[in-house]
Amino acid sequence: MLSRFSFFRERGWAEIAAADYAEIWQRYGGSVATHPAFVGSLSGFAGIPVRYLAWREDGEAVAAIPVWGRYLAMSNAALKAMGKKGTFDPGNMEIVLPVLPDATGIPLRHAARYLSARHKAQFSGLRRQKEALAILKTADAFSAKFRYNQRRQLRLFTEAGGVIRPVAEFSPAELATIYIDLFEQRWEETATGAAAMAEVFSLLREWMTGSVLLLHGAPVAVQVLYRVESPQWISIEYINGGVAPEAQEFSPGSVLTYVNVEAAREDAAAREKSLRYSFGRTGRDYKKMWCVAEPVFEA
């Protein structure tokens, strides 16, 4: 039963079934953080009840949202408030909700951050965040010199015995072990959600993409990337990564970013869709080389 506060927050919205939310998402598209199966899998894993709401105009569903209590689903703040912080690493994912493109002024009263700028007119009451998201530049925004240097780094890596293997060739347990180890080597701390990472990767395996770099048979770079496909675009979220310090002469982090970005671009081009590739929150220098800072909003 909804509380008085919930009723106020959700007035105008109607609860719908998970299957109805999935149909609306497939119609209008969204991002990794709002993909129906992705949200459902992580909600179940974390033990957080997820509800789906739709906003209708003239009988047609023009928007839908997945919610955890008073928050949009996948919210870091919700995980903390519900005592689930550290259960898994949601990163700082861009929130793109399934909404009719020309919809305007829909009230969004659930707490959320990192809402895409595309929603600025679609939802009312949004406030621009101080933080921005790092979104991959278009291919033509990179100079010829930059592209040459990336190809050169890749060549030097492979000539030294480096190997590129798709993440699909590794089991979830293997990927978890590689990531946890390389993350700790890079950051000198334990990765968020390390204790259950193999289980999380098993649940999310369908949406994991990218490659692993190996040098002389040992992993030296990995990135946690999730990919979902909307009707008109492909969304990729770069959650975090790890590199082996002893391989730094070959710039494995940069090489892997180049490999993953090029593969994503080729995939999007082959499907004749645009690419939305988020590196999460801005702030680290390497992101400035690859990305532009784009505004995001909160509710």
> Could you tell me if 98 and 172 lie in one domain?
no
Can you give the residue range of the structural domain that contains 31?
A: 4-125
For residue 10, pLDDT over 90 is answered with no
Within the chain, where are the H helices?
A: 4-10, 18-28, 36-46, 76-81, 144-159, 172-187, 197-203, 252-270, 285-290
pLDDT exceeding 70 applies to what percent of the chain? Answer: 98
Domain stop point among 125, 146, 161: 125
In a domain, 176, yes or no: yes
Domain stop point among 56, 90, 125: 125
Count: domains in the chain: 2
Give Rg (Cα) of the chain.
20
The pLDDT, as a whole number, for residue 1 is 43
* CA–CA dist 132, 150 (Å, integer): 26
Query: pLDDT tens digits, residue range 191-237?
Result: 999 999 999 999 999 999 999 999 999 999 999 999 999 999 999 99
The pLDDT, as a whole number, for residue 284 is 86
Helix (H, G, I), strand (E, B) or coil at 274: strand
Query: pLDDT tens digits, residue range 82-98?
Result: 999 999 999 999 999 99
CATH number of the domain enclosing 222: 3.40.630.30
pTM given for the model: 0.95
User: Which residue is associated with the tokens 């959700």?
Assistant: 10
Domain stop point among 105, 125, 145: 125
**How many Cα atoms within 13 Å fall on the side-chain side of residue 34?**
31
Instruction: Judge contact between 148 and 154, C-beta under 8 A.
Output: no
The pLDDT, as a whole number, for residue 3 is 53
The pLDDT, as a whole number, for residue 204 is 97
> Could you tell me if 87 and 189 lie in one domain?
no
* CA–CA dist 139, 237 (Å, integer): 18
Q: 78-100: buried (b, 16+ CB within 10 Å) or exposed (e) per residue? A: bbeebeeeebbbbbbbbbbbbbb
**Comparing 187 with 67, which gets the higher pLDDT?**
67
